[in-house]
Structure 1
């Protein structure tokens, strides 16, 4: 990678891995979508509300295994839904 690419954001960085199957939870739809990064996968998921609202969840956690990152992304999204419910979209 050239010096200019590194300086101006070309290449590297976060890349979305193909999305996994969505999970239904308390009327919400969670689609785990861990971000592929050097060294692992960052927890990330899309949360869709009952009225079509969307929230993009991204956490600092990095896991080496994609399947583990998907499961952890769903668990984090479920925790957020439990804590905030529809206020998540305010």
Structure 2
């Protein structure tokens, strides 16, 4: 079964909840995904707009060796994305 899973792209995915980091009224949730002994950069950006909670999820192609490195990279990429897009992230 492991061979077939790898052949068809099924990956072991494991995420654990994280505490948000606040940046410019956005909440950033690093949610690295464990894959084959490494961690894929992933997470969520949320913000309340006009009484409605908006959310943007993303999974990057970046894979690193530790969860802390994945979370740090996610935070820096999320902050850059917020600086570039602002509320348009949710469009």
When normalised by structure 1's length, the TM-score is: 0.84
Aligned to 2:46: 48
Q: Is the 8 A contact 1:20 1:70 kept in 2?
A: no
User: 4+ residue stretches of structure 1 with deviation over 3 A?
Assistant: none
Unpaired segments of 5 or more residues in structure 1? none
Aligned to 2:34: 36
**In the aligned structure 1, how far is the partner of 2:85 from the partner of 2:58?**
13
**In the aligned structure 2, how far is the partner of 1:50 from the partner of 1:62?**
30
Unpaired segments of 5 or more residues in structure 2? none
- Bigger proportion of residues as strand: 2
Aligned to 2:59: 58
Q: Deviations over 1:30-73 (max 9, x none)?
A: 00001111141110011002321000021100001111111111
Deviation at 1:2, TM superposition (A): 5.8
